[in-house]
Amino acid sequence: MRVAAILEYDGSNFSGWQRQNQARSVQGIVEAALSKVADEPIQVTVAGRTDAGVHAAGQVIHFDTSAERSDYSWVRGVNSNLPPDVVFLWAGPVDNSFHARYSATGRHYHYSVLNRPARPTYLARRITHEYRPLDIKRMLQGAQHLLGKHDFTSFRATECQAKSPVRELRALEVVRQNEFVHIRVHANAFLHHMVRNIAGVLMTIGAGEREPDWAKEVLDARDRKAGGVTAAPDGLYLVSVSYPNSAKIPEFVHALPFPDIY
């Protein structure tokens, strides 16, 4: 049978999602826990691989197994074998045609910045720090140039393995809440480092180092060298993944470690 699951993790102490021989990965930890509960080797497929230091509030996976367990038993059993920085929120059977990555219709990311002179303490490694005052009106003006379906070559990592650089950016919001600046992004899919590179461009604009039209110049250049600095991973969260209703993947109001702005 095929089982899907939704999980949450703090990426601070992981080398990223993908399994690696000499480093601690979320995939390795999750597969080890699932294999214990299933009493057989389990390999998982993920909706979106996250980089080192990137967090997830609603990551989605699927796996195939011959083990018969209740939904409750999968969640309770796996969580008892997971470290404190990873947790299953839900698990349940899905149709064999379901695919965590290819069945997805959209991804939602949240990038959060503590915008003040002093560095963070209890939010360290869970939020990006920017000491320069950020003007969100300028950031919003720059963001408008990126909405829609475009070639995002300038916003992807040079080692990105995606076959096409074209993505549809459906929403890009910038919101200030006291000392926090939040960037919320929704697209059909994302390229490697795409959200962090968008955040880097918008923060440069917000700090007054570039004009808002620079975002369009970067986009039109189709050259990663034109895109400036990649923002730190600390403040990036994969919030949720969207699927057709027929997939029957539940939606959660996910908890993020800063004041609620939703």
In this predicted model, what pLDDT tens digit does every residue of 188-214 receive, in sequence order? 999 999 999 999 999 999 999 999 999
Cβ atoms of 67 and 39 within 8 Å: the answer is: yes
Domain ranges of the chain: 2-103, 106-238
* CATH architecture, domain 2-103: 2-Layer Sandwich (3.30)
Confirm whether 2-103 and 106-238 share one CATH topology. Answer: yes
Report CA 258 to chain centroid distance, whole Å.
Answer: 16
Position 109 scores a pLDDT of 96
Tens digit of pLDDT for each residue in 171-181? Answer: 999 999 999 99
Position 161 scores a pLDDT of 85
- Dihedral (C-alpha) 207, 208, 213, 214: value to the nearest 10 degrees? -70
SS3 179: coil
Length of the chain: 262
| DSSP strand pairing (236-242 vs 55-64) | parallel
Cβ count near 254 (within 10 Å):
18
Q: How far is CA 229 from CA 68, 157, 226, in A?
A: 48, 11, 9
From 82, 79, 61, select the one nearest 2 (Cα to Cα): 61
Type of residue at 71: D
Report CA 19 to chain centroid distance, whole Å.
Answer: 17
Cβ atoms of 238 and 111 within 8 Å: the answer is: no
Give dist(CA 64, CA 45) in Å, integer. 9
Ramachandran area for residue 39 (φ above 0: left; ψ -120 to 50: alpha; else beta): left
The β-bridge partners of 20 are 23
Catalytic residues: 51
The β-bridge partners of 86 are 9
Cβ count near 257 (within 10 Å):
13
Tens digit of pLDDT for each residue in 99-117? Answer: 999 999 999 999 999 999 9
Give dist(CA 35, CA 216) in Å, integer. 48
Low-confidence ranges of the chain (pLDDT < 50): none
pTM, to two decimals: 0.93
Class of domain 106-238: alpha beta
* Percent of the chain topping pLDDT 90: 89
